[in-house]
Structures are given as structure tokens and as C-alpha cells.
């Protein structure tokens, strides 16, 4: 059995906590772990970690890898399937299936989303087992969530007769998929007991899925055959990129599930939430006695049924009702629950303004640690930089800025032109403009420095990398598919 | 004619924009000037600046002096009457009257609040002139605001017969003062046309006022006689402090105005507001087409009738109605307009927690410029320091911290132990622990430096001042009364 976790989503609906470079799956929502960590953790009782694959784009793969290594140890570099560009779910799952087909065509492929929450992981694993039983008999099985409310934001699945093949129980044939309903229809669906939410989680045999691709999506099928031929050759990465560039964006629901005659559904009562907006937090987090979900340094006087999140600064709320307040170091959101979906419009406006606040947080994570922009002004920028023990930044130079470094904790090993030397806490050093330099932490505790940059241009792109432990010379190069477990 | 501007208020109701050390009168509300600047500006057509006095406490006098010098030029050091402690309005005005009595017992004393807004300064000056006419005839005149709504938060004045003395017009005898009414009563007052809001602005002759103090407030009268005897002697400051320590707190309304038979009222239709809470902003600021008052970097989608203030960071609001959102660098307030008064409760809670967020802002003004705390962490603190041209900090030392200074703009003249030297932009210097040091800007443009402090204790009180241009060696010393214009 293999897990394929789709992790390409951008999650603008959780702005300002989520950003383009820090989407929802990387956030701690409904627990101490991030959603991607929770997702992997949930399947590990059933699936060996070598058989867990993350389908995602190059931009976010590094952050996911870091989070999985932090949570589960070891390296996860071999667990990634990288899409050269986002083309919806059908091409991503097609690429994943080709990948699995090389080693185990009869293997069971479990497709999961990286940014969903599930309260009852035991029931979830039981559903996967039931679905795997039907998948072995050639069904394309989807997990249908038992609706708890007349939700108009999801598509529904109508269940038909039970699958009667031997060894299958608790699985039903899909009578039909239905679009997002209006409210009266959704209420009828809820009453009938025959309709389930389409969760976007699937279980099928690799071979079954590829047969159905060949049957219903000929263009994708052609592309996948090309990729299959190129795998292992020098042309692999180029072929994948070239094929993806001409594939249409299509969902697996529309392209396969709604057309196949082999669709089945496992009714799943597992405490599922797609955590689709700030209001959905209620589905995954305990409320207090006044119906609030409050996190961080908050003074609340008499607010009810509200979501209040303070990252670092103080937030005071008085008399709010059904409100959402989210405070981050560079941006604050205040909205009514009713309008929480419109946070997308804020993100659109930020894009239009070319503003930074939808792209990154003030704290940016890097393979070697992180940095936080404390202040930017005319000709200067101040950062706090944390370098993890044993890590080093690239050997680099800047054309437009010089840098003063003051060490706060730990010891810095500094390369500055031809010189190499230690800088201890409460000592400083100066990196002139154009000097080749490198910052390294050879110690056992995190190295923390304050960097004051001076110069006429202070953009992050004024960096020439001469040597880098993390191969960041050419960010555009696509990695080949990972080595498969044999 | 003399103006006495009462400026001791703390203005917690404008938190988080106002702080204990940055009360409402120091804020720009309803204009480009701060409220104290607006107040002084309003009376200058009528009163010479040498005759404008500010009654306030030592803690805030420096900030007011700086704001007046910035706005009107020259020094305002001689315009302050300092209360050794807050004892409500009667003692503060008694002290002011004693002060004026030395040079001009028959002078007209105009009593104003430092933190009110007045939209129509011309009408205001006319009211003052009318009031002064009655004051010359021995009346204690109060400005009664024509009510625009059935306000239950103010006391009212019932006007009686017109004062018929020659030379007086538009002034009425006070029939009675009434407490804050309930809503039906307030509506009745509004309808009757005979009731006015008690604004706390007064006009009287110095001698009249002191006579009424002698008649109705014997304890205050005794204290003022002691102070009068001590003025000009070496005991002046000590006597004022000693007398104030035993005076009861009492308002001039309760102590004099409600008891005297000489009270009169000038109906004033001057666009007055006491700007008593965030909702009162509507009385002094223009609303947009959706009824909002929006300031700063705000993306608003569909909010109406709301006050939204962003200081530096981005604030996004969606679908709010009758809400107040105030964002400052270290604290954010979100409340309903209805509950805006309860911001006091937040401040109370902060006091209980001994939190900094009600005392100071992240940017703190000093006589020499200002500093902003960019970040505080374990054993380090980072500040941006701005030194005005020609200004210098005190010659000082710290027992618990060393400091790294990186110059961003301007040139620093640094005293560091026995050495004195320049530090230019993009250069840095290091002040060791316990070293006597001084920072000075001898240039023509502001000097901006980034300071990284290292040490085991980083409180602002770890400072030993050896020499200071601003006499801050002993903050507790009370200045003597200013020299009076002769």
C-alpha cells in the first residue's frame, strides 16, 4: 500500500496566517503538529514511511521536507514527487501512478490531501482498510463523509447498492456525483441518509487507475506514456516539464470519477474537516464556555462565538460576536464569520498592489534556520538571523549592501574575504560590500545574530551564491523522480 | 487675559493609541496637530503666548513643551504650572489663580481643557469674548454647549434669566447644575432648549475666583494662602508639594460652581467634542461614503459605520458594522462601538498584569529625539534611536549592559570612556559595560542609529546620568513657578 499526499494547495483562505510561501498544510491547525505532519502521522500505522509520497511543487517541497524531518526524524528527500507546474489533481495523480507503476502495478494507492483535519484517526484507518478491500476488486473508491449539516459548499456523492463481491463490506457503488447543492437540496440530502460529502480522498489499484485514465482521459494517457518512457533516462525531468506544460488542468473527479463505472464509496464518520476557512476552525478546535476559540496574548472582555488569534503582540477584544480576529507580525485581519470566505478578496487586492503581505511572513524559514525582518527603512534593513547547530548559509556576496553582524547567542564562524574567524556573543563583525562571505554555526546551540544591512538596494535577490549546502544555485532545475523502495 | 489649560488627564479611553505616558492631549485627533497644539492655537488670536499657561504634572510637561516648541517655535519652558500631584480641578485652578494673582488680580482667567476638539474656532472666540464681558462684572462664567443629541454621559446646566448688566450680551444666569440624566430626561432637556452640556471651560476674574474659594472651600483657601506666602522664597516648591499632599481631591464644579450665586453660562454652538472615546471620533473627523473613518494602511471590504486605524502594519477588514479597530505597533484593539467605553477595563487588566502596553508605546519621545524598541529577547534588546540635529543624550553609564551602535544616517559624535570620535553611516562602535559614554548629533540632519544591547538586565532604569542637558539627574525635583510676564 502506498500513500500519495497532495500538497500543492495555496490556502489563501487562511490569510494572514497562511501565505503564498507558507500555505495551510504547513500551519499548526487543530493540534501541536502542522496539517502535513498530522496527515503523514495518520497513515504511518498502515503504510511504511518509504511508501508515503508527497506530490507538490518545487517551491514548497523544501519546507515540507524540513517539517517531516523535524517531526519524524531522518531524511524525507526521497519521498517527493514534484509537479513542474500546478495542473489540478488528474495530472498530479497520473504522474504519481506512473511512478508507482514502475515497481508495483497491483499496489494500492491511497490519495490524501495534505491540509485536511481528521478527529478520529482510528475510524479513518478502518475506512481505508475497507476501501482497500474494494480497490483490490477493481473499484475506484472514494471516502464519502457522513454530512453533519446541510453544507452547500461541497459536492455530494449518492450511494447505491452495496458492493457484493466477497471480502468487501461497508462499501457501496456510487449512484452519482452531484454538484454543490442549494440549501433546500442540501437539507433533503442530509435527511435522506444516502448522500455523502465528496472529500477528495481516494483508494484504488495503480493499474485500475491507469486503465481508467486510458479510457476517459486520452490526452493525459498519452502524456503519461511519454513520461513513462523517459523515466530513468537523462530526459526524465525535461520530459515531465514539457508534458505538463501542454496538459490541460483537470480534476480527477471530473476527468475520471464522474465517468467511470467502477466508482464506489466508503461512508466515513471520521470527524473530517477540510479546514476551508477561519470559521472551520470550530470543527477542529475546542471552544471555550462562551463559544470562542482564543489563542495567544489576548485580553477578551465579553466577546462570544468568535475566533481570536494573537501571534506575538497583544490583542484586546470587547463585545464581539461571530467575529474573526487574526493578528500576525505584519498584518491583521478582522472580519465577520459570515464573510470569512472573502479573505480571498483581500489576497487578490494585495496581489494587485504587489504587496509582500500575501507572499511571505516576517519570519522566513530556510534550510539552515530562519530570519525575521525586524525593520526596513531608507537604506537600511534589520534582521534577526537564527542558524541551526551544524548549519551554514551559502558562500555568497552582495553587490549593493554591506552587513554588520552582532552575535547575541552562540558562536559564529565567519568567512569574510580571505579571513576566517570566530565571533562570540556581544562581539560584532563587518562584511563590506562585494566581499565574499559565509556564516556558519559549528556549535551545539542555535546561533542568533542581529544583522544591520546598509545599502542603496536591499532586496533578497541581491545575492550571488558561490557555494551552497542546499543546492540553491539554480532554483529552476527540476529534481528527477525519487528512488523507489525495492 | 490669561489662558489656563488643564493638561493632566490620562485618557485611557483612547488606548491603545493613548498610553499612560502618551495621553490623549498629545495625540493627533481630528487634525494634523495634536489636541494640546490645537488648544493653544485656538486661543492665540486672543491671548499673548506669554499669557498661556499649562497646568500639568511633571511627567508629561516635557512632552507638551516639546510639542508646543515644534508647532509654535521658541521655548515654552516658562508657560508651565506644575501640580506636584493630581488633586482634581479645584486645587489645580487654585494654584493657577494664586500664580496669576501675583501680577494681575483683576486679570481674566480662561480655563480650558487640553484634550477637547472644537470645530468652529471663530464662534469659540466670540463666546470667550462674551464670557469675558460677564466675568469683568464679577460672574463665574461657564461655556454651555448646545446639545446636539440626548447625551446621558454629561452633566447639564439649566440657563435662567439673561444677565442684564451693561456691556453683557448673550450670557445667562445659571439656574442650576444637574447630574448626568437618564435617557428620557436627556430627551426632555434637548427639547426644552434651556439646558446645556457642562463643558468644563470657565471664564472668571482671578479675584472673583479666589473670593469664591475663600467662601466655599476653606481648606483649599488656607492652602493657597500658605503657597502665596512661600512664592519666591526658597520654600516655594516644598510648600506647594506639602500643601497639595494634604488637600482633598475636588472638582471646581462641585466645590465652587454648584454653590456660588455668581454662576453664569454662555450658550456655545462651536462644534465642541470632548473626544471621550473612539466613537467620538465621528464628531471631529469626516466619514467616508460608507460611514467609516479609515486611517493608514487598510484594505476594507464592505465594512460600514466603523472606525479603522492602522498605524504601521497592514489591517484588513471585511463586513464589519459599527466596529472599532485600532492597530498600533505593540497592541491591537477590536471592539463594538457600543462597548467602546469598556476599553478602560482592558487598561485595568493590563495594570493588574503589570504589562507595558498601557504605559508606553514602542516609540518613546525624549527631549533629544526618540527611540523605538524593535525587539526584546533573552539577554538582548534592539532599538532604533533618532537624535535630533544639535541634540545629545546624557553622559551616562550602564551597570548591566554593553551596546553596539551602527549608524544608519547622519554622523554620530561619540564619547566612549576617554576617547571622542565620529562614527559615520555604515560604521559601528562598541560601548563596553560600565563605560561612561555619550551620543551626540553635531550635524544638520537627524542621526539614526541601530543599537543592539547585550546584558543580563536591560531595563530602562539601568542608567547613571553623569551630565545631562535636560536636567534629568533628579526627576523628583519640582520646578519653581515660572517667571511671570511683567
pLDDT digits (tens, 9 = 90+) for A245-264: 999 999 999 999 999 999 99
Q: What mean pLDDT do residues B210-222 have? A: 97
Residues A308-332 have a mean pLDDT of: 95
CB contact under 8 A, B317 and A331: no
Cβ contacts of A317 on chain B, cutoff 8 Å: 333-335
SS3 label, residue B288 = coil
CA of A319 vs chain B CAs: smallest distance (Å): 6
Shortest Cα–Cα distance, B144 to chain A (Å): 33
Q: Is A445 on the interface with B (CB under 8 A)?
A: no
Whether residue B485 is predicted with pLDDT greater than 50 in this model: the reply is no
Residue to substitute from A349, A450, A456, A458, interface B, most B β-carbons within 10 A:
A450
Inter-chain CB proximity A339 and B302 less than 8 Å: yes
Q: Which of the four pLDDT bands, split at 50, 70 and 90, describes residue B473?
A: low
- Looking up residue B143, the CATH number of its domain turns out to be 3.90.550.10
Of A299, A340, A409, the CB nearest to B349: A299
Q: Structurally, how many domains does chain B consist of?
A: 3
pLDDT tens digits, residue range A289-300? 999 999 999 999
In angstroms, what separates the C-alpha of A429 from chain B's closest C-alpha?
9
Instruction: State whether A141 and A49 are in the same domain.
Output: yes
Contacts of A318 in chain B (CB under 8 A): 333-336, 339-340, 342-343, 345-346
For residue A315, the chain B residues in CB contact (below 8 A) are 331-332, 334
Residues A59 and A96 both lie in one domain = yes
Taking the Cβ of residue B430 and every Cβ of chain A, the question of whether any pair is shorter than 8 Å is answered with yes
- Cell output for A433: 560590500
Q: Tell me whether residue B479 is in a domain.
A: no
- CA-based nearest distance B41→chain A, Å: 33
Residue that is written with C-alpha cell 472673583 in the block = B208
Angle at B108 between CA B105 and CA B113, to 5 degrees: 120
Q: Looking at the structure, do residues A304 and A162 belong to the same domain, yes or no?
A: no
Q: Do A331 and B320 touch (CB under 8 A)?
A: no
| Nearest to A264, CA basis, from A389, A391, A171, A374 | A171
Find the closest chain B residue to A310 by CA distance: B332
> CA B225, B227, B230, B233 torsion: positive or negative?
negative
Residues B387-442: tens digit of each pLDDT: 999 999 999 999 999 999 999 999 999 999 999 999 999 999 999 999 999 999 99
User: What would the mean pLDDT of A201-209 be, rounded to a whole number?
Assistant: 97
The DSSP annotation for A267-332 comes to EE-S-EE---SGGGGGGTS---TTS-EEESSEEEES-BS-EEEESSSEEEEES-BSEEEEE-SSEE
Domain match, B60 and B197 both: yes
Provide DSSP, A439-484: EE--SSS-EEEEEEEEES---TT--EEEE-TT--S-TTPPPPPPPP
**Cβ distance of B316 and A402 shorter than 8 Å:** no
pLDDT at A481 over 80: no
pLDDT-derived band at A474 (thresholds 50, 70, 90) equals very low
| Residue A27 shares a structural domain with residue A101 | yes
Q: Do A343 and B318 touch (CB under 8 A)?
A: yes
- Judged by average pLDDT, the poorest of A476-480, B9-13, B249-253, B342-346 is A476-480
Q: Which pLDDT score is estimated for A136?
A: 96
Q: Which residue of A has its CA nearest to B431?
A: A426
**Domain of B313, in residue numbers:** 286-338
Cell numbers at B254, concatenated: 462641585
pLDDT tens by residue, A35-76: 999 999 999 999 999 999 999 988 889 899 999 999 999 999
CB contact under 8 A, B318 and A346: yes
Contact check, Cβ <8 Å, B332/A313 = yes
Same domain, A311 and A404: no
Kindly give the pairing relationship between strand A2-6 and strand A108-113: parallel
User: What's residue A473's pLDDT?
Assistant: 55
Percent pLDDT > 90 in chain A is 80
Tens digits of residue pLDDT in B246-267: 999 999 999 999 999 999 999 9
- Is residue B198 predicted with pLDDT exceeding 70? yes
Q: Report if residue A354 sits inside a domain.
A: no
Same domain, B174 and B294: no
The pTM for the full model equals: 0.85
Tell me which residue in A375, A430, A448 faces B374 most closely, judged by beta carbons: A375
Task: Supply the pLDDT for residue A470.
Answer: 79
Residues of B in contact with A355 (CB under 8 A): 314
pLDDT range class, residue A12, cuts 50, 70, 90? confident
Which of A302, A349, A450 is facing B452, going by the closest CB pair?
A450
In this complex, do B452 and A342 lie within 8 Å of one another by their Cβ atoms? no
B331 vs A: CB within 8 A: yes
Cα A22 from chain centroid?
Answer: 8
Q: Are residues A288 and A267 in the same domain?
A: no
Residues of B in contact with A302 (CB under 8 A): 339, 342
B408 touches chain A (CB under 8 A): yes
Instruction: Flag whether A101 is in a domain.
Output: yes
Whether residue B315 and residue A334 make contact (CB cut-off 8 A), yes or no, is yes
Q: Is B404 on the interface with A (CB under 8 A)?
A: yes
Question: What mean pLDDT is reported for chain A?
Answer: 92
pLDDT-derived band at A20 (thresholds 50, 70, 90) equals: confident
Give me the residues paired with residue B373 across strands.
Answer: B383
pLDDT of residue A361: 85
| Rounded to 5°, angle at Cα A145 from A139 and A146 | 120
CB–CB contacts below 8 A, A to B = 174
Q: Please give the Cα distance from A2 to A205 (Å, whole number).
A: 10
Cβ separation A377–B408 shorter than 8 A: yes
How much is the pLDDT for B481? Answer: 58
Please check whether residues A179 and A46 belong to one and the same domain.
Answer: yes
Pairing between β-strand B156-162 and β-strand B314-318 as defined by DSSP bridges: unpaired
Task: For residue range A107-138, list pLDDT tens digits in order.
Answer: 999 999 999 999 999 999 999 999 999 999 99
Residue B331 lies in a domain: yes
- Which chain B positions have a beta carbon within 8 Å of A383's beta carbon? none
Per-residue pLDDT band at B476 (split at 50, 70, 90): very low
CB spacing of B317 vs A338 below 8 angstroms: no
Residue with cell 502495478: A105
A484 pLDDT more than 70: no
Give dist(CA B162, CA B173) in Å, integer: 6
Q: How far is A313 from chain B (nearest CA, A)?
A: 5
**Both B68 and B15 in a single domain?**
yes
The overall average pLDDT reported for chain B is 92
Is residue A212 over pLDDT 50? yes
Which residues does A210 contact at the CB level (< 8 Å), separation at least 6?
A94, A97, A98, A101, A105, A221, A224
Residue after which a domain boundary falls, among A273, A295, A324? A273
Q: Taking CB atoms and an 8 Å limit, are A409 and B379 in contact across chains?
A: yes
Distance CA B302, CA B280 (A): 22
> Distance between CA atoms of A276 and A296, rounded to whole angstroms?
22
CB–CB contact A426 B342 (8 Å): no
Among A219, A252, A273, identify where a domain stops. A273
Residues in chain A: 486
> What sections of B268-353 are H helices per DSSP?
281-284, 343-352
**How much is the average pLDDT of B172-186?**
95
Is B284 in a helix, a strand, or coil?
helix
| Chain A nearest CA to B29, separation (Å) | 21
Report which DSSP code applies to B480. Answer: P
Q: Region A327-335: what's the mean pLDDT? A: 95
Contact A318 B343 (CB under 8 A): yes
Give me the mean pLDDT over the A158-168 stretch.
93
Predicted complex: ipTM over 0.90? no
Inside any domain, residue B29: yes
If pLDDT is split at 50, 70 and 90, which confidence band does B9 have?
confident
Q: Of A273, A303, A321, which residue constitutes the final position of a domain? A: A273
Alpha-carbon distance of B259 to B212, in angstroms, equals 9
CB contact under 8 A, B450 and A380: yes
Of A302, A313, A380, the CB nearest to B330: A313
In this structure, is residue A473 part of a structural domain? no
Q: Do A316 and B343 touch (CB under 8 A)?
A: yes
Answer whether B404 sits within 8 Å of A428, measured CB to CB: yes
* Position A486 in a domain: no
A475 domain-assigned: no
- Residue among B318, B406, B452 whose CB faces A335 most closely: B318
A24 and A92 share one domain: yes
What does B42-57 look like in DSSP terms, one character per residue?
HHTTTS-GGGEEEEEE
A375 at the B interface (CB within 8 A)?
A: yes
Same domain for B68 and B194 = yes
Q: Is the pLDDT of residue B474 over 80?
A: no
Overall average pLDDT of the B347-376 stretch: 89
Is the torsion defined by CA of B399, B404, B405, B408 positive or negative?
negative
Amino acid at each position: 500500500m502506498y500513500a500519495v499526499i497532495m500538497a500543492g494547495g495555496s490556502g489563501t483562505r487562511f490569510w494572514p496566517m497562511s501565505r503564498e510561501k507558507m500555505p495551510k498544510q504547513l500551519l499548526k491547525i487543530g493540534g501541536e503538529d502542522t496539517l502535513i505532519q498530522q496527515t503523514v502521522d495518520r497513515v504511518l500505522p498502515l503504510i511504511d514511511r518509504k511508501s508515503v509520497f508527497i506530490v507538490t511543487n518545487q517551491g514548497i517541497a523544501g519546507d515540507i521536507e524540513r517539517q517531516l524531518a523535524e517531526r519524524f526524524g531522518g531524511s524525507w528527500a526521497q519521498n517527493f514527487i514534484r509537479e513542474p507546474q500546478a495542473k489540478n489533481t488528474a495530472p498530479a495523480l497520473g504522474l504519481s501512478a506512473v511512478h508507482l507503476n514502475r515497481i508495483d502495478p497491483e499496489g494500492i494507492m491511497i490519495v490524501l490531501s495534505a491540509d485536511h483535519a481528521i478527529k478520529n484517526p482510528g475510524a479513518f484507518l478502518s475506512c481505508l482498510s475497507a476501501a482497500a478491500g474494494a480497490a483490490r476488486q477493481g473499484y475506484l473508491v472514494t471516502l464519502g463523509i457522513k454530512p453533519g449539516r446541510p453544507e452547500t459548499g461541497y459536492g455530494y456523492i449518492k450511494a447505491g447498492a452495496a458492493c457484493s463481491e466477497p471480502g468487501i463490506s461497508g462499501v457501496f457503488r456510487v449512484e452519482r456525483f452531484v454538484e454543490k447543492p442549494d440549501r433546500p437540496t442540501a437539507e433533503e440530502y442530509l435527511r435522506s441518509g444516502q448522500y455523502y460529502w465528496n472529500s477528495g480522498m481516494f483508494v484504488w489499484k495503480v493499474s485500475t487507475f491507469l486503465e481508467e485514465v486510458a479510457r476517459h482521459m486520452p490526452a493525459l494517457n498519452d502524456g503519461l506514456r511519454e513520461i513513462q518512457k523517459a523515466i530513468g533516462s537523462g530526459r526524465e525531468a525535461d520530459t515531465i516539464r514539457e508534458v505538463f506544460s501542454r496538459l490541460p488542468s483537470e480534476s480527477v473527479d471530473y476527468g475520471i470519477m464522474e465517468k467511470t463505472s467502477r466508482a464506489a464509496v466508503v461512508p466515513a464518520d471520521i470527524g473530517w474537516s477540510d479546514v476551508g476557512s477561519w470559521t472551520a476552525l470550530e470543527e477542529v478546535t475546542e471552544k471555550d464556555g462562551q463559544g470562542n476559540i482564543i489563542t495567544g496574548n489576548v485580553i477578551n472582555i465579553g466577546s462570544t462565538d468568535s475566533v481570536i488569534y494573537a501571534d506575538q503582540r497583544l490583542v484586546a477584544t470587547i463585545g464581539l460576536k461571530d467575529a474573526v480576529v487574526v493578528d500576525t507580525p505584519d498584518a491583521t485581519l478582522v472580519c465577520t464569520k459570515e464573510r470569512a470566505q472573502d479573505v480571498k478578496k483581500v489576497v487578490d487586492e494585495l496581489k494587485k498592489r504587489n504587496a509582500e503581505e500575501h507572499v511571505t511572513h516576517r519570519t522566513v524559514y530556510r534550510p539552515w534556520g530562519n530570519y525575521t525582518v525586524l525593520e526596513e527603512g531608507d537604506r537600511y534593513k534589520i534582521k534577526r538571523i537564527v542558524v541551526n547547530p551544524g548549519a551554514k548559509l551559502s558562500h555568497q556576496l552582495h553587490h549593493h549592501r554591506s552587513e554588520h553582524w552582532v552575535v547575541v547567542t552562540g558562536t559564529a564562524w565567519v568567512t569574510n574575504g580571505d579571513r576566517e574567524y570566530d565571533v562570540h556573543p556581544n562581539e560584532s563583525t563587518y562584511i563590506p560590500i562585494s566581499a565574499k562571505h559565509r556564516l556558519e554555526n559549528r556549535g551545539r546551540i542555535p546561533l542568533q545574530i542581529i544583522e544591520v544591512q546598509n545599502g542603496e538596494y536591499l532586496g533578497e535577490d541581491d545575492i550571488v551564491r558561490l557555494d551552497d549546502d542546499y543546492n540553491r544555485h539554480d532554483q529552476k532545475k527540476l529534481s528527477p523522480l525519487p528512488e523507489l523502495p525495492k
